[in-house]
Chain A
């Protein structure tokens, strides 16, 4: 299906475990983003990527790792999950157009992660 998908949609894991959240988009968008959404904090940027093999930290990167070997995929890994990482995680993407700022981000359906 065209668009942006995330998997799994729900995940329960234990403290200290490694967990990877997947994001896949079919638009060939250059930019991809990972956000977490928590009550009282809104959407906070974790990491973003301007293209394959180019990633950068956002507002709250600690405890997370990303990679982007292919344009269409942008996995987010929690190397050693903590309870404070219980949250809803959203992936988004943007088509970058040369010469203009392109800001229209399109979001996936989210992954609800619980760390026990």
Chain B
């Protein structure tokens, strides 16, 4: 089946640093979504990408839809303590409208 790969499982950075994470797949995706989950809460949609090569920003967050359509990248600039959480990538199942497959997520820790 379609799988999305995110690694490493955890990342530790210093406050103020930039961080980059990626999501890869062996299958082509037509949509990439990035979510963040705060501790004890549900995932929140950060950015949606619908076109290969697309670069979209949301505040300090920037995400890119890879040209090959098999990967996507999320960058966080000038990290702050509230960036702590789990970051998931997601993409649609082939031929199944509205169902998503999720990566296992990257847990980000920010040291003050």
Q: 1/0 per position for A55-69, CB-CB distance to B under 8 A?
A: 000100000000000
Interface hits, B6-38 → A, CB 8 Å: 30-31, 33, 35
Q: Is A108 an interface residue (CB 8 A)?
A: yes
Question: What residues of B have a CB within 8 angstroms of the CB of A101 in the complex?
Answer: 30-31, 92, 97-98
- B60 located at the interface, meaning its Cβ lies under 8 Å from any Cβ of chain A in the complex: no
Asked if B104 contacts A103 (CB within 8 A), the reply is no
Which A residues are in CB contact (< 8 Å) with B90?
103, 105
Report Cα–Cα, A58/B40, bound state, in Å. 24
When C-beta atoms are compared, the residue in chain A nearest to B45 turns out to be A104
Q: Is B59 an interface residue (CB 8 A)?
A: no
- Cα distance, A26 to B42, chains bound together (Å): 17
Residues 15-67 (chain A) with a chain B CB within 8 angstroms: 31, 33, 40-43, 45, 48, 50, 58
Alpha-carbon distance A104/B46, docked complex (angstroms): 10
Q: Are A102 and B98 in contact (CB under 8 A)?
A: yes
Partner of B45, one of A31, A50, A58, A105: A105
Say which residue of A48, A106, A108 sits within 8 Å of B99 (CB atoms): A48
Q: CA–CA, A106 to B68, complex, Å?
A: 27
Could you list 16 further interchain pairs (A-B, Cβ under 8 angstroms) beyond the known A48-B99, A96-B97? A33-B99, A42-B88, A43-B88, A45-B100, A58-B99, A101-B30, A101-B31, A101-B92, A101-B97, A101-B98, A102-B97, A103-B31, A107-B35, A107-B43, A107-B44, A109-B42
7 contacts between A and B (CB under 8 A): A40-B104, A48-B99, A90-B42, A94-B98, A103-B31, A103-B100, A107-B43
